[in-house]
């Protein structure tokens, strides 16, 4: 406990010009299970490591659909992430209603970042303890962003956050130059390779990871476990044949999304799809 007197209040600067509480919140992101994103000229793929809290529970939900053209993966406190994803959905709907066009991805990312910044400058709040990878497609093409607890955001070719994400990042750094021209299927396989790196001792399966895709002409979709399993098997067979053609089952489109609804497809069962609710990942 020989820390300092500047690190318990988010509105207190340290003599070195640092906000320790913001840095500690970013530590929470590093404790969450890994999330990975990567991008080609036409698609963005998100992947997440699912950590089951118990044999009895479904795995944690780490991937969320925000709008037809935007989705996120999160690492850290998912309760905090849910607050942000609810805000994102609401902004997308409002924009569509007012301007009759989808909200550009970069603009949404900035709005989320500004919401996070406010929590770093009020003494009665705390910074959000969650990192987001935002995948989206708009008029300027596919995008992959990261939102931090500090109120910062970054655009990436490919990136990984969360615990043991370094191995995944190394994979991505080695390969990312080839991603731009990948097909959707190749991109998914790269994502699964990266996830594998951060799993270490665990076997990759449709149960302990999730994958989502958004691309030109394709709305954001979280792969169902059958499709995902097919990809995983193709990965092991190192084959890229037709059999793995993706048959995505888009999530049911909730006609009316109310204020607090952030559950996406609330009716997706546990056993079959492997998409359980979210967990506190620290």
**Of 71 and 274, which has the nearer Cβ to a copy of itself?**
274
Give the list of residues 6+ apart from residue 27 with CB closer than 8 angstroms, or none.
Answer: none
Neighbouring C-beta atoms of residue 136, cutoff 10 Å:
27
**Residue 109 contacts residue 161 (beta carbons within 8 Å):** no
Name residue 43's beta-bridge partners: 215
| Binding span for a copy of itself by CB under 8 A among 183-191, 192-200, 220-228, 269-277 | 269-277
CA distances from 138 to 42, 213, 227, 242 (A): 11, 14, 26, 29
Q: How far is the CB of 27 from a copy of itself (least distance, A)?
A: 3
- Range 97-104, long-range pairs (CB < 8 A, 24+ positions): 102/67, 102/68, 102/69, 102/70, 102/138, 103/67, 103/70, 104/138, 104/139, 104/140
Which of 43, 75, 92, 145 binds a copy of itself (CB under 8 A)? It is 145
Q: How far is the CB of 282 from a copy of itself (least distance, A)?
A: 6
Which of 67, 80, 224, 251 binds a copy of itself (CB under 8 A)? It is 80
Q: How far is the CB of 204 from a copy of itself (least distance, A)?
A: 22
d(CA 173, CA 268): 35
* Exposure of 252 in the CB half-sphere (CA atoms within 13 A): 10
Q: How far is the CB of 121 from a copy of itself (least distance, A)?
A: 6
DSSP classification of residue 224: P
Which of 43, 86, 184, 189 binds a copy of itself (CB under 8 A)? It is 86
Q: How far is the CB of 23 from a copy of itself (least distance, A)?
A: 8
Q: State phi, psi for 10 to the nearest 5 degrees.
A: -70, -20
Pick the closest to residue 84 from 146, 38, 142 (CA basis): 146
Which of 99, 201, 238, 241 binds a copy of itself (CB under 8 A)? It is 99
Tokens of 240: 């890229």
**Of 243 and 270, which has the nearer Cβ to a copy of itself?**
270
Residues 146-205 that bind a copy of itself (CB under 8 A): 146, 148, 150-159, 169, 172-173, 176, 180
Residues 222-261 that bind a copy of itself (CB under 8 A): 256, 258, 260-261
Chain centroid to CA 33: how far? 11
| Binding span for a copy of itself by CB under 8 A among 43-51, 186-194, 233-241, 263-271 | 263-271
Q: Does 216 bind a copy of itself (CB under 8 A)?
A: no
| Binding span for a copy of itself by CB under 8 A among 26-34, 66-74, 207-215, 224-232 | 26-34
Which of 102, 129, 215, 219 binds a copy of itself (CB under 8 A)? It is 129
| Binding span for a copy of itself by CB under 8 A among 10-18, 196-204, 211-219, 228-236 | 10-18
**Residue 186 contacts residue 239 (beta carbons within 8 Å):** no
Tokens of 266: 């609330």
**Of 32 and 234, which has the nearer Cβ to a copy of itself?**
32
Q: Does 24 bind a copy of itself (CB under 8 A)?
A: yes
**Of 145 and 220, which has the nearer Cβ to a copy of itself?**
145
């Amino acid at each position: 406990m020989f820390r300092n007197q500047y690190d318990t209040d988010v509105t207190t600067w340290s003599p070195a010009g640092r906000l320790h509480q913001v840095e500690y919140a970013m530590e929470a992101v590093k404790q969450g299970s890994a999330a990975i994103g990567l991008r080609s000229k036409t698609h963005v793929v998100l992947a997440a490591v699912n950590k089951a809290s118990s044999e009895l529970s479904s795995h944690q939900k780490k991937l969320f659909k925000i709008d037809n053209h935007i989705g996120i993966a999160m690492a850290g406190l998912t309760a905090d992430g849910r607050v942000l994803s609810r805000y994102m959905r609401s902004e997308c709907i409002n924009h569509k209603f007012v301007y009759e066009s989808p909200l550009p991805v970069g603009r949404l990312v900035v709005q989320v970042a500004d919401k996070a910044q406010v929590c770093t400058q009020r003494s009665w709040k705390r910074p959000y303890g969650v990192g987001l990878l935002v995948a989206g497609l708009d008029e300027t093409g596919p995008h992959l962003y990261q939102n931090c607890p500090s109120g910062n955001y970054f655009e990436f070719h490919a990136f990984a956050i969360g615990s043991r994400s370094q191995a995944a990042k190394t994979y991505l750094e080695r390969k990312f130059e080839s991603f731009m021209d990948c097909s959707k299927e190749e991109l998914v396989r790269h994502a699964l390779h990266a996830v594998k790196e951060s799993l270490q001792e665990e076997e990759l399966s449709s149960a302990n990871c999730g994958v989502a895709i958004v691309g030109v002409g394709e709305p954001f979709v979280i792969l169902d476990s059958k499709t995902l399993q097919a990809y995983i098997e193709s990965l092991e067979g190192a084959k890229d044949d037709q059999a793995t053609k993706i048959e995505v089952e888009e999530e049911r489109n909730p006609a009316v999304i109310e204020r607090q609804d952030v559950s996406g497809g609330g009716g997706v069962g546990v056993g079959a799809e492997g998409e359980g609710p979210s967990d506190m990942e620290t």
